[in-house]
Structure 1
Amino acid sequence: MFFRKIESKGIAHFSYMIGDGKDLAVIDPVRDIGIYMQEARKAGKRIKYILETHRNEDYVSGSMELGEKTGATIYISAHEDLGYLYGQGIENGFEIKIGDLTLRALHTPGHTLGHLSYALYDKNQTSPYMVFTGDCLFMGDVGRTDFYGKENLEKMTSLLYDSIFEKLLPLGDEVLMFPAHGAGSACGESMEDRPYSSLGYEKKYNRALQVSTKKEFLEKFAKMRIKPRYFEEMEELNTKGAPFVGESTLLNVCSIEEIEHSKDCILIDIRSKEAYIGGHIPGSIYLTGSILSTFLGALFKTDEKLLFLTDGNVAEVEAIYWQCRRIGFDNIQGFIPHAAAAWEASGKELRRAATISAGDYQDGLRAEEFLLLDLRKEHEIKSGDPQKNKVHIPLQSLYECYEKLERDTTIYVLCGTSERSTTGYSYLKDKGYNPIIIAGGTDMLRALKK
C-alpha cells in the first residue's frame, strides 16, 4: 500500500495519496499539482483517480488540472447540483478499486449538502481501517455549517450531527481518521495540531462530540461565523475550474525602483514582525508567511496586483508564491529582495511602527482620547481582558468595517500576541488612521496581572 499525507501550510490543508499496485488516488488536491506528480513519479505509479470530498471554499482545487495532466477520472458528489463543468458525479456507496484496496463513498452532509467522506477497505475486510472525513469531522472540532445562510443553519447542523454520529463513528473506534484541515484553518475554530487521530480518540476527546443529545449539539454549533471575502470566488473557481498554473514556480525578481512604477500594486511585507516594526516601507502591509493565507484573501480582492518585500529568503519566497496561487491570487508582480535596505540605500526613509508596551497601556500611560480595537475572534475573548473604549472587529472583517472607526482618534490595536495587530496597524495606517500596536497583546497583558 502507498500512502502520503500532503500538507499545504498557510491554509492548513491536508490532501492524500492512496495506492496499491501501479495505481493511485488523490483526495482533495490543491492547485500546485507538482507535489502529486513528483510523488507519483518517485513511486513509479500513475494517478488514476481524483476524489473531492466537497466543493472547497478556502482554496483553489487542483482537480481539473491534475486530471488534465494525468488522464485521471475526477469524482465529485452527485448529491448536490452545483453546476460543475468537470468531474463525474457519484453517490453514497460508490466504490473505487485500487489494487486490493477499496474506497467507498459515504454521503456525510452538514458542512455542505453534497459532502462525501471516503472509507478505505483492504482486501476481504468488512470494516475500514481509514476514513477521509473532509470538512465533516476534524481533530478536536467539527465542520462549520453556516454556508447556506442563517435560515438553513439548524438544518445543516442537524445533518452534520447525523453524519458524524450515525455514519462516521459507527465505522469503529479503531478506524484512523484523516480530515481535510488542521489547526489554523478558517473552516473550524478549535482544531487540534496533531499528525493523526482515530474515530475512537475523537469520540472520547473531541470537545465537539461531548454532547448527550442533538439539541445540545445544535445549541453549541448552529452559529454563523466570519466568511472571508474570497470564499465566494473560490466556490466559483472550484465549480467552473480554475486557470491552470503548471508545476513550476514563476518568481519575478524586481528592483526597488519597481515600487515607483507600480503605484497600483499592494506592497506586502513578508519579513518578521520585529523587522517590520523596526522599519518598513511606507504604505506596505505586514503579512508574514504564517498568517498570509488566512488574511490576504480577507483584506484584499483576488485580482489585486501584489508586490512582495522580502529579506532575500528564496525558499520563503517560493512558499509565499504558492500560498497566493492556492487562494486565487494570480496577479503576482514580483518580489524585491532586501527591500528595506534597498529603500534606505536609495535615499528614502523607512517608517517605524508605533507601539506601546503592554505595561504602559495597562498603567494608563496612553492617550486621553482613544479607541481600543480588538482584532481577535469572539471565542478568544476572556473576562478580564481590556474593555475600556473597546471596539471589536475581527481582522477578517476589518476591510468592511474600518470606515466606522474615528479617523482623528488614537487607535490602540490589540490581538493575542500582536501578530494580527501589526497587520491591522499596517492596514489602518495605509487608510489614513492613527493606530498604535499594543506589544505582546493580551498574552502579555494577562502575564502582567499574575
Structure 2
Amino acid sequence: MYFKRIFTPGLSHYSYMVGDGGEIAVIDPMRDVGVYIEEARKANKKITHIFETHRNEDYISGSMELSEKTGAEIYISKYEDLGHVYGEKIGEDDEFRIGKLRIAPIHTPGHTLGHLSYVLYMGDVPYMAFVGDTLFWGDLGRTDFYGEDRLVEMTAHLYDSIFEKLFSLGDHVLMMPAHGAGSACGGAIEERDCSTLGYERKENPALQVDSKEEFVEKHSYMRLKAPYFEKMELCNVEGAAYLPGEVISNVLSLEDIQREDYTVVDIRSREAYSGKHIERSIFTSTKILSAYLGWIVDTEDPIVLLVDGLKDEELKTAYWTARRMGYDNIVGILGEGTVKSLEIEDTGLKSTKEIGAKEYLEMHREMLVLDVRREEEVEEDYPYMNRLNIPLQLLKERVGELSSEKEIAVICGSGERATVACSIMERAGIDGTVVAGGVKGIASQLKDRD
C-alpha cells in the first residue's frame, strides 16, 4: 500500500494520496497540483481517482487541473446539488478499487449537506477514514454555513454522522481530517499528527456529551464567516484559473507603489512592523496570513508584499497561501532594503506605539480599550474600564465606531492581533497603541501584585 499526506503550510490543510499496484487516488487536492504529479512519478504510479469530501470554503480546490493533467476521474457527492461543472456524483452505494484496496464513500452531513467521508478498507477491515471537515483532532466541523434557521438541523446531522456512522467503523480506524491546528475551519484543533476514531471518541473535548440533545445545544452556534469564502464557494463549483508552478511576482520600486493604488501587505514580524512600516500598509505576518487576510483585503485588490529581511521560503509560503485563497492579483514585492531607503529619505514610514502590561494597568482608566479577541475569549475579571470588544475579523467594517478623543489601547491574547488591528485603524486615520504581551502579560502582572 502507498500512502502520503500532503500538508499545505499557511492553510493547515491536509490532502491525501493512497494507492496500490500502479494506481493512486488523491483526496481533497489543493490548488497547486504539481506536488501530486511529482509524488506519483516518484512512486511509479498513475493518479486515477480524485475524491472530494465537500465543496471547500477556505481554499481553492485543484481537482479540475489535476484531472486535466492526469486523466483521473473526479468524484463528488450526489447528496447536494451545488451546480458543479465537473465531477461524477457518487454516494454510499458506490465503491472503488485501487489495486487491492477498497474505498467506500459514506454520507456524513453536518458541516455541509452533501459531505462525504471515505473509508479505506484493507481486505474487509476498515483501516482509514478520510473525514474531511466532519471531525478534527480535538475539534469538529462547523455547522453554521446554512444560516441560523438550519443550525440545529445541521448540528443534529453532524452528531449522527460522527456517533452513528464514523464511530461504528471501530475504535482502531485511523482518522484523516482535512485540516490541522491553525486552520480557519476549526477553533480548537489540537496540534497532533495522528489519531484514531477511538481516541477522538474518548478524548475529543467537543464529543464529551451524554446525549444528542446535549451535543446539539453545545455546538449549535453561529461563527464568523470570512468575506473571501464566497469566492471560494464559487471557484469550487465553477473552477478557477490554474496556477503556474513558480512564484510570479515582480520586484517593485518605491516609485512604483507611489504611482499606483496598491495595497501593501507587510508580512514581516510584528516587531519589524511596529518598529518601522510603510504608511497605510496592512500588517499580517506569514504565520497568521490565512487567518486574517481574508477579513481585511478584498481578493480582487492589487497587492504588494513587503518582504524586506525575510527568507525566500517565507515569501513563498505567503505567496502560495494567498494564491490558494484566491488572491490572484499579487502584482509584486518590496524586497531587501526597502525600509532602510525610506529611513534615509525620511519619508513614508510610521511606527506603531506600544506599551507594556504594567504601564497599561497604570493608564487604562484614561484610555478607550479596544479588545479585538473573539467574544468567547473575553473574560470579565480583568480591569478593563471603557472597554469595547470588536473581534479583529469585524474591525474593518466597524472601525467607524472608534473615536480619537481618547488614546486607544488595543489588546488581544499576546499582541499579534492587536498589531493587525492598529494597521487597519491607521488606514482609517485612527492611531492605536498596542498592549505588548496582551492579556497574558496583564494576567502575569496581576498575579505578581497578588
Match of 1:250 in 2: 248
Match of 2:296 in 1: 299
Deviation, structure 1 residue 107 = 0.2
Alignment of 1:37-76 (within 5 A): 37-76=37-76
- The separation in 1 between residues aligned to 2:94 and 2:8, in whole angstroms, is 28
Alignment of 1:174-253 (within 5 A): 174-253=172-251
- The separation in 2 between residues aligned to 1:434 and 1:249, in whole angstroms, is 35
- Which one of 395, 402, 426 corresponds to residue 398 of structure 1? 395
- The separation in 2 between residues aligned to 1:345 and 1:255, in whole angstroms, is 15
What is the SS of the residue equivalent to 2:198? helix
Match of 2:321 in 1: 323
Amino acid at match of 2:30: V
- The separation in 1 between residues aligned to 2:263 and 2:131, in whole angstroms, is 37
- The separation in 1 between residues aligned to 2:387 and 2:93, in whole angstroms, is 52
- The separation in 2 between residues aligned to 1:409 and 1:41, in whole angstroms, is 62
1:446 matches 2:432: no
CA deviations 1:306-346 (Å, max 9, x no partner) are: 00111242111111110111100000011111221232244
Amino acid at match of 2:355: I
- The separation in 2 between residues aligned to 1:83 and 1:175, in whole angstroms, is 33
User: Contact 2:184 / 2:290 at 8 angstroms: preserved in 1?
Assistant: no
Deviation, structure 1 residue 366 = 4.8
1:269 matches 2:266: yes
Distance 1:342 1:66, change over 3 A: farther
Alignment of 1:121-160 (within 5 A): 121-122=121-122, 124-125=123-124, 127-160=125-158
Match of 2:340 in 1: 341
CA deviations 1:1-58 (Å, max 9, x no partner) are: 1111111122211111111111111111111112112211222222111111000011
Amino acid at match of 1:286: F
Alignment of 1:92-171 (within 5 A): 92-122=92-122, 124-125=123-124, 127-171=125-169
Deviation, structure 1 residue 275 = 0.9
Match of 2:4 in 1: 4
Amino acid at match of 1:34: G
Q: Which moved more, 1:40-49 or 1:147-156?
A: 40-49
- The separation in 2 between residues aligned to 1:176 and 1:321, in whole angstroms, is 33
- The separation in 2 between residues aligned to 1:17 and 1:128, in whole angstroms, is 17
What is the SS of the residue equivalent to 1:128? strand
Match of 2:368 in 1: 371
- The separation in 1 between residues aligned to 2:198 and 2:93, in whole angstroms, is 23
Runs of 4+ in 1 over 4 A off after TM superposition: none
User: Contact 2:129 / 2:175 at 8 angstroms: preserved in 1?
Assistant: yes
- The separation in 1 between residues aligned to 2:74 and 2:344, in whole angstroms, is 53
User: Contact 1:367 / 1:410 at 8 angstroms: preserved in 2?
Assistant: no
What is the SS of the residue equivalent to 2:327? coil
- The separation in 2 between residues aligned to 1:251 and 1:40, in whole angstroms, is 29
Match of 1:279 in 2: 276
CA deviations 1:149-205 (Å, max 9, x no partner) are: 000000000000000000001100010001001112221211101001000100110
- The separation in 2 between residues aligned to 1:137 and 1:386, in whole angstroms, is 38
Amino acid at match of 1:317: L
User: Contact 1:373 / 1:391 at 8 angstroms: preserved in 2?
Assistant: yes
CA deviations 1:217-253 (Å, max 9, x no partner) are: 0111000000111111110111101111132222322
User: Contact 2:132 / 2:177 at 8 angstroms: preserved in 1?
Assistant: yes
User: Contact 1:417 / 1:441 at 8 angstroms: preserved in 2?
Assistant: yes
- The separation in 1 between residues aligned to 2:325 and 2:74, in whole angstroms, is 21
Deviation, structure 1 residue 284 = 1.1
What is the SS of the residue equivalent to 1:184? coil
Match of 1:31 in 2: 31
What is the SS of the residue equivalent to 1:189? coil
Amino acid at match of 2:351: R
What is the SS of the residue equivalent to 1:257? helix
Distance 1:340 1:329, change over 3 A: same
What is the SS of the residue equivalent to 2:434? strand
- The separation in 2 between residues aligned to 1:215 and 1:415, in whole angstroms, is 34
What is the SS of the residue equivalent to 2:189? coil
- The separation in 1 between residues aligned to 2:201 and 2:428, in whole angstroms, is 47
1:380 matches 2:380: no
Match of 1:351 in 2: 350
What is the SS of the residue equivalent to 1:197? coil
CA deviations 1:70-97 (Å, max 9, x no partner) are: 1110111010000001111111242111
- The separation in 2 between residues aligned to 1:385 and 1:42, in whole angstroms, is 56
Q: Which moved more, 1:219-228 or 1:403-412?
A: 403-412
- Percent identity reads 49
User: Contact 2:268 / 2:310 at 8 angstroms: preserved in 1?
Assistant: no
Q: Which runs of 5+ in 1 are unaligned?
A: none
Q: Which moved more, 1:101-110 or 1:339-348?
A: 339-348
Amino acid at match of 1:429: E
Amino acid at match of 2:205: R
What is the SS of the residue equivalent to 1:328? coil
User: Contact 1:267 / 1:308 at 8 angstroms: preserved in 2?
Assistant: yes
Q: Which runs of 5+ in 2 are unaligned?
A: none
Q: Which moved more, 1:305-314 or 1:295-304?
A: 305-314
Amino acid at match of 1:105: P
CA deviations 1:401-442 (Å, max 9, x no partner) are: 212222433221111010011110111011111211111101
Match of 1:361 in 2: 360
Amino acid at match of 1:432: G
- The separation in 1 between residues aligned to 2:381 and 2:442, in whole angstroms, is 10
Match of 1:418 in 2: 415
Amino acid at match of 1:218: V
Distance 1:386 1:13, change over 3 A: farther
What TM-score results when the alignment is normalised by the length of structure 2?
A: 0.96
Q: Which moved more, 1:348-357 or 1:300-309?
A: 348-357
